[in-house]
Amino acid sequence: MRWVDARVGQAINIRQRPPTFSFFPTFQGATREGVHSTLFATEPWNIVQHILEKLSDANARRQALAFLVQSRDFFTAAQNSDVSAAKPLLLYYSFLNLAKCLCVKRKGTALGMVQHGLSEKLPTTPGAIHGSVSIDILKSPATSAFVMFANVLGANLPQPAATKTHVEIRSQDFLAQVLIGHRIYCQADNIKERFISLDRIEYMQDVGTQEAWLRVRAYADDFTRLGYGLTDLSKHLGAAGVWRNVNCSVVIDGRRIIEAETVATIRYGHRPSQVLSQISIDARPRLWRSVTAYPPYRKYYLYVPSAAQVLLNQLLTIYLATFYFGSITRYKPEQFDQILKSPIGPFVFEFFSNQPTQFLYLMASEFMEQEVAKAAIT
Mean pLDDT across 81-110:
95
Does residue 378 surpass a pLDDT of 70? no
**Cα–Cα distance between 175 and 302 in angstroms, integer?**
16
Confidence of residue 306 (pLDDT cuts 50, 70, 90): confident
Shortest CA distance to 223 belongs to which of 287, 302, 307, 312?
302
Helices and strands of the chain, counted as H and E runs: 12, 17
Beta bridge partners of 195: 303
Taking CA atoms, 73 is separated from 95, 97, 167, 305, in Å, by 11, 10, 32, 36
**Residue 114 pLDDT level (bands cut at 50, 70, 90):** very high
Q: What is the mean pLDDT of the chain?
A: 93
Average pLDDT over residues 91-105: 98
> pLDDT tens-digit profile of 355-374?
999 999 999 999 999 999 98
- The confidence score (pLDDT) of residue 276 equals 96
Predicted pLDDT of residue 89: 95
* Residues 186-209 pLDDT 10s: 999 999 999 999 999 999 999 999
DSSP letters along 47-88, please?
HHHHHHTT-SSHHHHHHHHHHHHHHHHHHHHHHTS-TTTTHH
β-strand pairing of 166-170 with 132-136: antiparallel
For the ranges 47-61, 71-85, 90-104, the lowest mean pLDDT is seen at 71-85
Give the strand pairing for 200-206 and 211-219.
antiparallel
C-alpha gyration radius of the chain: 21
Confidence tier at 32 by pLDDT (50, 70, 90): confident
* Residue 65 backbone class (left: φ over 0; alpha: ψ -120 to 50; beta: rest): alpha
What confidence tens digit (pLDDT) does each residue in 242-296 have? 999 999 999 999 999 999 999 999 999 989 999 999 999 999 999 999 999 888 8
pLDDT for the residue numbered 83? 86
Tell me the whole-structure pTM to 2 decimals. 0.95
84: phi then psi, degrees, rounded to nearest 5: -80, -5
128: confidence class by pLDDT, cuts 50, 70, 90: confident
Amino acid of residue 175? L
Alpha carbons 234 and 246: distance in angstroms, whole number = 9
CA neighbours closer than 13 Å in the CB half-sphere of residue 306: 11
Q: How many CB atoms lie within 10 A of CB 51?
A: 19
Q: What angle do CA 9, 12, 13 make, to 5 degrees?
A: 135
| Lowest-confidence pick of 107-111, 136-140, 172-176, 360-364 | 136-140
Contact indicator for 204, 12 with CB cutoff of 8 Å: yes
Q: Which helix (H) or strand (E) holds 354?
A: helix 345-368
Give percent of the chain above pLDDT 90.
84
Rounded-to-integer distance, Cα 217 and Cα 260, Å: 6
Amino acid 1: pLDDT: 59
pLDDT digits (tens, 9 = 90+) for 315-347: 999 999 999 999 999 988 888 999 999 999 999
